[in-house]
């Protein structure tokens, strides 16, 4: 009688039944580095939000691991506070009580064998008490220099393997190395313990609704794709600007810089999604194949001096507040050559994009906080108006705003009312928040759920990471020989060289 | 900001909404749908509050039509609110007096957001055949609530006999979390299923729908047991390897018991109407699974028992004894509701003619 039936298709699942959400199977999430900012502000609230939306399995367990002298209750209190302060959905006592029953804490160092043996015990215990069935995800919310220690310890203590069809997964956050060589080493370290299908690299930008909407915009509509090529597109600008400085992240940021921190991952991913061909399907593999093709086709300009720019913020006034320069920030050496602004021009060597430059820029302490992607179109080949009529007409553009104020703006010329023919640029705006929920899930909710479900489309594969370094390494080496980055006043849109770099091509940065 | 318009017309209402929008410096392009609420004075306030709450997630134009039949002349009184305190869409309360109360569609039609989908919601009593209703015909999606009817099981019978693609009922929406939890239980390996049962409050339409859904999907006989509630209190799927059971005696916490697992609990709260409406607005395509679940109701022993017990003589309402309906037994006293709500007279007339045409 007790014959176990092979996992049969679930008779209650019907692809037409769109109401039924995907709920993760029995499992636990083990977070290393629970005292960090990311864990407190994003991960733990996201776990609660998932629980509140009924997307976590009954018996779900959350295990914290950190070098703190805590017991389970202390950690539960930390989670409680972080949920109260940062969760997106309302706080419900019932949901919290259930979540709380599965909260555990293990105190220890990342190289402490005893602590990992204890963790192993806790995890076994959870299988028994909470029915997690040997399914455990390890979230390494820690500096990459500890990845090696942790995965080795996971291996030593037997935590990295499971049997009976249960799974173990590991989740890592950027930076994935600081150049191609170190990225490969890092990858080797993790690969040695976790097979590639079980490694989830988080680029939280890919979990954002607007980024996913980019694919819908391009491939679900007919009106954009026909002009999405070098026949119509003049150039593309991708900007990620922050108005804040490095804050308390001196230890992390110094020596890394803007290009490694942002361009290598977020901006190249955005570029790949903008430039890629239509994937065969939205299955993880099909999308990756297309992204990798674009990343492989990327080219650098011959003269890196002329077509890249780097800067470092100097003291100034930012939005009405006087702020210090990078070199005066606490914990930063006054000789630091780390850039806080980086811009590069890239080409995509394909038929679709031949001759269309992609300009990428990112920086701290810029004019305002904004992430956007602008497709700037060529001018009409012939204007049946006199030159004075169209003096105020710029280039048509489509701007996809990733954050804040997610949405899409189209800019085109329109006649100014009056007896004269005068054409001027106007904006047409679609704001996500107007048409859809303002409470769309946080990127981390989506990504954590995808990890627990084992659904990988939104996670970059190590090949993508390496391709990113391949393109960026020559730029970083070139910059390393240049000494100090060019200073720019805080609260402005970056150093003069970045504007000169555009002017050389007869173009200018959009003011986002 | 509210504006009152007494003895007005639909175009004046439209103009007032645009003017108010313009004054506030925003445009209506972001409205993704029009939600029409057909309610009486008693239910409208709660319904509008729930809809406005749901509109946070789905910004929409909300038109509340409140028929006020009576002897007086036909007259439309409107009150509009644009971008309330928290910038929530547009609300128009339309009081349809005198003979106009039978012609809600004539007022609603010019006020629909261009191209955008239309959803109609009857928070209280709904017409017998919502798809044939003049306002219902304007909509992609028609939301009823059998639980709010005076006789819920009878109301469910009406939904079943008149089902058209695009219909949906909040009694069905209410069981989504239950269905999700049971479905996730069967995502794990299980042995052959031999039977199932649902325990729910007596005459709970959600309980019957859940049982019908399980019976349809699992292909086994599903029993329905009466419990003291609230709502649905438990579901058991019997397998050769033991019972998988989920119980929720208090309407808050569900306990899942199955062989090979420790007993586990999960929050499974009864949801508010806001939450239900928000879920409804998330998808506007026909809910085929709901249609099939309704259609499968007569195969449920509990349904047969219930209808046998309550079915009045088919001659009870001669005006509506649509003789050619195969399913007559399954929709007891389909027309009793019309006698109670005379203002729906035109509605049901249209409904019955369409039914005749379909059968």
What is the tens place of the pLDDT at every residue in B234-263? Answer: 999 999 999 999 999 998 899 999 998 999
Rounded Cα–Cα distance for residues B256 and A278 (Å): 44
Rounded Cα–Cα distance for residues B246 and B243 (Å): 10
Give the model's confidence band at B275: pLDDT under 50 very low, under 70 low, under 90 confident, else very high.
confident
Residue A280 DSSP class: S
pLDDT surpassing 50 at residue B350: no
pLDDT at B333: 39
pLDDT at A210: 78
- What SS3 state is found at B4? strand
Pair of tokens at residue A386? 């006199």
In sequence order, the β-bridge partners of residue B265 are B255
Residue among B30, B56, B288 whose CB faces A16 most closely: B288
pLDDT at B348: 38
Give the model's confidence band at B210: pLDDT under 50 very low, under 70 low, under 90 confident, else very high.
very high
Judged by CB atoms closer than 8 Å, whether chains meet at B265 and A436 is answered as: no
Judged by CB atoms closer than 8 Å, whether chains meet at A25 and B184 is answered as: yes
- The Cα-based distances of A35 to A49, A68, A78, A141 in angstroms read 19, 9, 9, 9
For residue A408, the chain B residue with the least C-alpha distance is B30
Judged by CB atoms closer than 8 Å, whether chains meet at B181 and A1 is answered as: no
> What's the burial of A430, exposed, middle or buried (CB within 10 Å: 0-12/13-18/19+)?
middle
Compute the nearest-CA separation of B219 from chain A (Å): 9
Judged by CB atoms closer than 8 Å, whether chains meet at A98 and B189 is answered as: no
pLDDT at A155: 93
* Helix locations, A266-308, DSSP H: 268-275, 284-296, 304-307
Residue among A6, A25, A131 whose CB faces B187 most closely: A25
Handedness of CA B223, B255, A136, A175 (dihedral sign): positive
Residues 6+ apart with CB under 8 A from B103: B96, B134, B346
Q: What's the predicted TM-score (pTM) here?
A: 0.83
pLDDT surpassing 70 at residue B314: no
Q: Specify whether the CB–CB gap between B245 and B224 falls below 8 A.
A: no
Judged by CB atoms closer than 8 Å, whether chains meet at A92 and B269 is answered as: yes
Least confident of A226-240, A344-358, B318-332: B318-332
Each residue's pLDDT tens digit, A14-24: 999 989 988 89
Please report how the helices A180-193 and A147-156 are oriented relative to each other, as an axis angle in degrees rounded to 10: 10
Pair of tokens at residue B201? 């409050």
Active-site positions of A read 266
Rounded Cα–Cα distance for residues A270 and A206 (Å): 8
In sequence order, the β-bridge partners of residue A428 are A410
Helix (H) or strand (E) holding B239: strand B232-239
Q: Specify whether the CB–CB gap between B170 and B147 falls below 8 A.
A: yes
Cα B87 from chain centre: 27
pLDDT, greater one: A389 or A134 = A134
- What SS3 state is found at B295? helix
* ipTM, two decimals: 0.81
Each residue's pLDDT tens digit, A66-116: 999 999 999 999 999 999 999 988 899 989 999 999 999 999 999 899 999
Compute the nearest-CA separation of B293 from chain A (Å): 12
pLDDT at B223: 95
Rounded Cα–Cα distance for residues A205 and A373 (Å): 13
Q: Token match 């080949």: residue?
A: A381
Residue among A7, A57, A431 whose CB faces B189 most closely: A7
pLDDT at A177: 86
Judged by CB atoms closer than 8 Å, whether chains meet at A437 and B241 is answered as: no
- The Cα-based distances of B26 to B22, B60, B110 in angstroms read 6, 14, 21
Give the model's confidence band at A241: pLDDT under 50 very low, under 70 low, under 90 confident, else very high.
very high
For residue B258, the chain A residue with the least C-alpha distance is A131
Give the model's confidence band at A8: pLDDT under 50 very low, under 70 low, under 90 confident, else very high.
low
Handedness of CA A47, A49, A55, A58 (dihedral sign): positive
Q: Specify whether the CB–CB gap between A256 and A338 falls below 8 A.
A: yes
- Burial profile A307-326: b = 16 or more Cβ within 10 angstroms, e = fewer: bbbbbbbbbbebeeeebbbb
Each residue's pLDDT tens digit, A341-363: 999 999 999 999 999 999 999 99
Q: Specify whether the CB–CB gap between A429 and A409 falls below 8 A.
A: yes
For residue B173, the chain A residue with the least C-alpha distance is A19
pLDDT at B200: 95
Pair of tokens at residue A230? 């070098």
For residue A437, the chain B residue with the least C-alpha distance is B57
Task: Give the mutation candidate from B56, B116, B180 for the A interface (greatest A CB count, under 10 A).
Answer: B180
Cα B294 from chain centre: 13
- What SS3 state is found at A470? helix
Handedness of CA A346, A347, A353, A356 (dihedral sign): positive
For residue B182, the chain A residue with the least C-alpha distance is A12
pLDDT surpassing 60 at residue B341: no
- Contact of B217 with chain A, judged by CB distance below 8 Å, is answered with yes
Q: Among residues B28, B57, B48, B99, which one has the least CA distance to residue B275?
A: B57
Rounded Cα–Cα distance for residues B119 and B197 (Å): 34
> What's the burial of A275, exposed, middle or buried (CB within 10 Å: 0-12/13-18/19+)?
buried
Rounded Cα–Cα distance for residues B176 and B174 (Å): 6
CB atoms within 10 A of CB A158: 13
- Contact of B46 with chain A, judged by CB distance below 8 Å, is answered with no
Q: Among residues A240, A467, A473, which one has the least CA distance to residue A340?
A: A240
Rounded Cα–Cα distance for residues B306 and B153 (Å): 8
Q: Specify whether the CB–CB gap between B341 and B125 falls below 8 A.
A: yes
Judged by CB atoms closer than 8 Å, whether chains meet at A58 and B176 is answered as: no
DSSP codes joined into one string, B38-79: E--HHHHHHHHHHHHHHTTTS-EEEEEEEEE-SSS--EEEEE
pLDDT surpassing 50 at residue B320: no
Give the model's confidence band at A420: pLDDT under 50 very low, under 70 low, under 90 confident, else very high.
confident
Q: Specify whether the CB–CB gap between B145 and B318 falls below 8 A.
A: no
Task: Give the mutation candidate from B246, B264, B289 for the A interface (greatest A CB count, under 10 A).
Answer: B264
Judged by CB atoms closer than 8 Å, whether chains meet at B283 and A11 is answered as: no
Pair of tokens at residue A237? 């600008």
B68-90 average pLDDT score: 80
Judged by CB atoms closer than 8 Å, whether chains meet at B184 and A57 is answered as: yes
Each residue's pLDDT tens digit, B211-240: 999 999 999 999 999 999 899 999 999 999
For B:12-31, CB contacts with A below 8 A are: 29-31
């Amino acid at each position: 009688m007790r014959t176990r039936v092979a996992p049969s298709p679930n008779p209650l699942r019907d692809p037409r039944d769109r109401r039924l959400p995907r709920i993760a199977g029995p499992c636990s999430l083990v977070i290393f580095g629970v005292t960090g900012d990311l864990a407190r502000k994003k991960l733990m609230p996201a776990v609660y939000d998932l629980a509140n939306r009924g997307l976590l399995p009954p018996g779900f367990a959350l295990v914290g691991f950190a070098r703190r002298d805590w017991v389970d209750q202390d950690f539960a209190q930390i989670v409680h506070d972080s949920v109260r302060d940062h969760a997106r959905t309302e706080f419900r006592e019932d949901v919290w009580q259930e979540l709380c029953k599965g909260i555990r804490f293990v105190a220890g160092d990342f190289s402490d064998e005893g602590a990992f043996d204890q963790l192993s015990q806790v995890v076994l215990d959870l299988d028994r008490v909470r029915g997690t069935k040997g399914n455990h995800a390890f979230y390494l919310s820690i500096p990459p220099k500890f990845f090696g220690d942790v995965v080795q310890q996971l291996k030593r203590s037997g935590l990295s393997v499971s049997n009976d069809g249960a799974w173990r997964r590991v989740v890592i956050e950027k930076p994935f190395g600081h150049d191609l060589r170190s990225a490969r080493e890092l990858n080797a370290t993790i690969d040695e313990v976790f097979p590639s299908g079980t490694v989830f690299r988080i680029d939280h930008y890919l979990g954002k609704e607007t980024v996913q909407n980019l694919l819908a915009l391009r491939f679900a509509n007919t009106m954009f794709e026909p002009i999405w090529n070098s026949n119509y597109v003049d150039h593309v600008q991708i900007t990620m600007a922050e108005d804040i400085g490095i804050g308390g992240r001196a230890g992390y940021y110094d020596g890394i810089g803007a290009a490694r921190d942002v361009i290598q991952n977020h901006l190249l991913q955005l570029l790949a999604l903008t430039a890629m061909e239509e994937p065969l399907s939205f299955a993880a593999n099909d999308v990756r194949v297309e992204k990798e093709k674009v990343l492989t086709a990327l080219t650098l300009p011959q003269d890196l001096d002329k077509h890249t720019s780097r800067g470092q913020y100097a003291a100034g006034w930012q939005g009405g507040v006087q702020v210090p320069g990078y070199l005066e920030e606490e914990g930063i050496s006054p000789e630091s050559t780390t850039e806080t602004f980086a811009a590069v021009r890239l080409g995509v060597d394909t038929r679709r994009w031949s001759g269309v430059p992609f300009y990428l820029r990112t920086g701290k302490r810029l004019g305002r906080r904004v992430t956007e992607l602008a497709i700037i179109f060529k001018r009409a080949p012939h204007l049946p108006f006199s030159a004075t009529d169209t003096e105020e007409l710029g280039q048509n553009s489509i701007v996809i705003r990733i954050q804040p104020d997610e949405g899409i703006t189209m800019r085109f010329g329109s006649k100014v009312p009056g007896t004269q023919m005068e054409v001027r640029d106007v904006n047409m705006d679609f704001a996500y928040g107007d048409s859809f929920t303002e409470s769309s899930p946080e990127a981390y909710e989506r990504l954590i759920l995808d990890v627990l479900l084992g659904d990988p489309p939104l996670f970059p594969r190590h090949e993508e990471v390496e391709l990113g370094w391949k393109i960026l390494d020559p730029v970083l080496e070139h910059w390393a020989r240049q000494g100090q980055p060019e200073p720019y006043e805080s609260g402005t849109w970056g150093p003069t060289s970045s504007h000169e770099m555009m002017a050389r091509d007869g173009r200018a940065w959009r003011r986002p | 900001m509210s504006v009152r318009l007494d003895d007005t017309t639909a175009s004046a209402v439209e103009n007032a909404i645009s003017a108010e929008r313009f004054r506030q410096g925003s445009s209506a392009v972001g409205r993704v749908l029009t939600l029409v609420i057909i309610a009486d004075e008693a239910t409208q306030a709660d319904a509008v509050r729930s809809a406005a709450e749901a509109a946070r997630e789905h910004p929409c134009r909300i038109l509340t039509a409140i028929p006020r039949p009576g002897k007086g002349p036909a007259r439309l009184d409107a009150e509009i609110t644009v971008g309330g305190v928290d910038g929530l869409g547009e609300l128009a309360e339309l009081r349809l007096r005198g003979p106009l109360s039978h012609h809600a569609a004539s007022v609603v039609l010019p006020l629909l957001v261009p191209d955008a989908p239309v959803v109609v919601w009857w928070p209280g009593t709904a017409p017998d055949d919502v798809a044939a209703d003049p306002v219902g015909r304007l909509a992609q999606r028609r939301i009823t609530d059998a639980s709010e009817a005076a006789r819920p099981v009878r109301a469910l019978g009406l939904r079943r006999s008149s089902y058209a693609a695009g219909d949906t009922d909040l009694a069905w929406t209410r069981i989504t979390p239950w269905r999700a939890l049971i479905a996730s239980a069967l995502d794990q390996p299980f042995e052959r299923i031999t039977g199932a049962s649902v325990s729910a409050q007596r005459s709970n339409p959600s309980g019957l729908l859940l049982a019908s859904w399980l019976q349809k999907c699992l292909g086994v006989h599903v029993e329905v047991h009466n419990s003291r509630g609230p709502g649905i209190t438990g579901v058991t799927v019997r397998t050769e390897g033991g019972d998988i059971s989920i119980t929720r005696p208090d309407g808050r916490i569900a306990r899942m018991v199955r062989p090979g697992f420790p007993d586990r609990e999960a929050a499974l709260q009864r949801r508010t109407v806001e939450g239900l409406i928000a879920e409804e607005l998330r998808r506007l395509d026909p809910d085929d699974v709901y249609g099939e679940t309704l259609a499968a109701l007569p195969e449920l022993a509990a349904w047969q028992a219930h209808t046998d017990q309550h079915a009045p003589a088919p001659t009870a309402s001669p005006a509506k004894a649509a003789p050619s309906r195969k399913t007559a037994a399954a929709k007891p006293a389909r027309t009793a509701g019309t006698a109670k709500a005379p203002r729906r007279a035109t509605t049901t007339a249209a409904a019955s003619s369409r039914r005749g045409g379909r059968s």
